[in-house]
Amino acid sequence: MPFPLSSLPIDCRYRLRDLATPGEAYDLQIAAPHFHGINPIQKIKYVPLIVRVFINDDTQFCAEPSRLVNLDSNELYSVYANLHIQNLTTSHSAQLILDRFIINPGDLHFENSVVTLKFLQHLAARRNLDTTFLTFEKCKLHTDFTLEVICTMFQKLIILELCNSNPLSQYWINTLIAMNYGNMFRLTINDASIDVLNVDKNQLIKFVKAQRNGFKLSISLKESSDDLEVNEMLETLFSYRFWQLTDYDHHDGGVVIRWRLLDEWHERYYSLS
């Protein structure tokens, strides 16, 4: 139930301002810019570099570069270029970040973290996220964090990198098409189940054609993938409208499928004709 700030005595308003984190003070002042008693104005410091926030070995919330970000101060930092989030678990709230940062990063990178729908919703509810580059590296993605959620929350992505195929259903290509996901530059799926290749070839063609020139789809399968099964699925999926390439520059677009057999990586390269 909302609490009317106007009912607070002036000394309680001052106390509220003293207790508020930089992020909370900023939100209060945005919501009630002319409300007496919640001064001083919360200042914002812009950080034009990569900012890394993480939980250290002593379970403390930290941020780098330390020469620009001091969590012991009353500064509120605006991160609009690149934010790396590392080592967070389900016991950590997005409030840890929102108390100290205004975030709208072009690049958002999660590493070695447990990512839940609740965490992302909390992060996005307070700030508009215009992220264009989203990556998950060595993360555990909860089952409620699906591709549909990613497409809904991050509608301007041109690069998406997934650490595994957990968020993907059998109809992941259909989802991307239904959500009007076009103009992408790269989609990478690592440690993927072989089921990721079990898609409709016509839908795959439709999706690839909707992307910008030079688009690259890169799929690396789990090490346990069966070589014969992989080859059969590739033959089925890419026998129509795709050229198999023998010479490939990794800076070029197209489709790259990688899988491991014994200690050797195998790769196939395809280009839409």
Reported confidence tier of residue 3, pLDDT bands at 50, 70, 90: low
Question: 54: which residues sit within 8 A by CB, 6+ positions away?
Answer: 61, 62, 63, 64, 84, 85, 86, 87, 88
Could you tell me the residue ranges of all domains in the chain?
1-42, 45-272
* pLDDT over threshold 80, residue 54: yes
Asked if residue 9 has a cis previous peptide bond (ω within 30° of 0), the answer is no
pLDDT of residue 234: 95
Query: Which tokens belong to 59?
Result: 């379970």
pTM above 0.85, yes or no: yes
Reported confidence tier of residue 128, pLDDT bands at 50, 70, 90: low
Mean pLDDT in the chain?
89
- Per-residue pLDDT reduced to its tens digit, 251-273: 778 999 999 887 888 999 999 98
pLDDT of residue 176: 95
Mean pLDDT, residues 115-126 taken together:
86
Residue that has been written with the tokens 């909390």 in this structure: 122
pLDDT of residue 40: 82
- Per-residue pLDDT reduced to its tens digit, 22-43: 898 888 888 887 777 778 888 8
73 in helix, strand or coil? coil
Partner residues linked to 268 by β-bridges: 257
Q: Say if residues 257 and 268 touch (Cβ distance below 8 Å).
A: yes
Reported confidence tier of residue 247, pLDDT bands at 50, 70, 90: confident
Compute the Cα dihedral for 134, 116, 138, 143 and give only its sign: negative
- How far is residue 8's CA from residue 37's CA, in Å, rounded to a whole number? 10
Compute the Cα dihedral for 223, 228, 229, 234 and give only its sign: positive
- Per-residue pLDDT reduced to its tens digit, 189-200: 999 999 999 999
